Amino acid sequence: MQPSPNPTKMRPLSAILFGSRWLQLPLYLGLIVAQLVYVVHFMKELVHLIERLPNLHEADIMLMVLGLIDVVMISNLLIMVIIGGYETFVSRLNLNGHPDEPDWLSHVNANLLKVKLAMSIIGISSIHLLKTFINVENLDVTTLKWQTIIHMAFIASAVSIAWIDRIMAHSDHQPPQNKH
């Protein structure tokens, strides 16, 4: 019986290729800085809403609150990309048993991450479209039409990604067919 090869010992080219995943680390750190920028932006907009509150109409409040929700949804998207992308493409976070571990992280993979990102983009687009419809009297028909078309394209893309992911997952679980 031969001993199994040492899993940590790699050939030099394999080690370089595998190690290149760490080049993504600055990208994820940059996204953390972008997250901080969104926190500052959110706080400024919240203070702006509170300061102007006595002079605002309900539609104006709704538009400003939707802007805050939009920032939160973009921030959620950033967290998914930072944590999910790092866990999927760079290195394990080893959060098993941590009380704050997100449920979705335990079964994240590149395909699931794509579906979740697509759904987040649809949510963000929905907020923008709702803001547009609340402010419809100030916009031209062409703007309304294109925003709706773009939103529908996001939905079609997300459905396509989810459908392809489902087909791929189903085919991964099928036993090989005998071709007699």
In the predicted structure, residue 6 carries a pLDDT above the cut 70: no
Helix (H) and strand (E) counts in the chain: 6, 0
Q: Is 15 within the bounds of a domain?
A: no
Q: Is 151 within the bounds of a domain?
A: yes
Domain total of the chain: 1
In the predicted structure, residue 5 carries a pLDDT above the cut 60: no
Torsion of CA 81, 111, 152, 60, to 10 degrees: -20
Q: Which residues contact 123 (CB under 8 A, 6 or more apart)?
A: 73
Q: What do you get for the CA distance between the two ends of the chain, in Å?
A: 37
Lowest mean pLDDT among 8-12, 61-65, 79-83: 8-12
Q: Is 178 within the bounds of a domain?
A: no
Q: Which residues contact 62 (CB under 8 A, 6 or more apart)?
A: 134
Q: Is 18 within the bounds of a domain?
A: no
Instruction: Round to whole Å and give the CA distance between 19 and 8.
Output: 12
pLDDT at 88: 84
pLDDT at 28: 96
pLDDT at 178: 56
pLDDT at 40: 98
Q: Is 177 within the bounds of a domain?
A: no
Q: In which band, very low, low, confident or very high, does the pLDDT at 175 lie, cut at 50, 70 and 90?
A: low
| SS3 state at 6 | coil
Q: In which band, very low, low, confident or very high, does the pLDDT at 97 lie, cut at 50, 70 and 90?
A: confident
The predicted-structure confidence for 107-148, as pLDDT tens digits, reads as follows 777 777 788 888 889 999 999 899 888 888 888 999 999 999
Q: Is 142 within the bounds of a domain?
A: yes
Domain that holds residue 107: 23-172
The predicted-structure confidence for 19-48, as pLDDT tens digits, reads as follows 999 999 999 999 999 999 999 999 999 999
The arithmetic mean of pLDDT across residues 150-170, rounded, is: 89
Q: Is 11 within the bounds of a domain?
A: no
- Which class for 156: exposed (0-12), middle (13-18), buried (19 or more C-beta within 10 A)? exposed
Which residue type sits at 111?
N
DSSP 21: G
Indicate yes or no: pTM above 0.75: no
Report which of 107, 108, 106, 122 is spatially closest to residue 159, judged by C-alpha positions. 122
Q: Is 39 within the bounds of a domain?
A: yes
Backbone angles phi, psi at 27, to 5 degrees: -65, -45
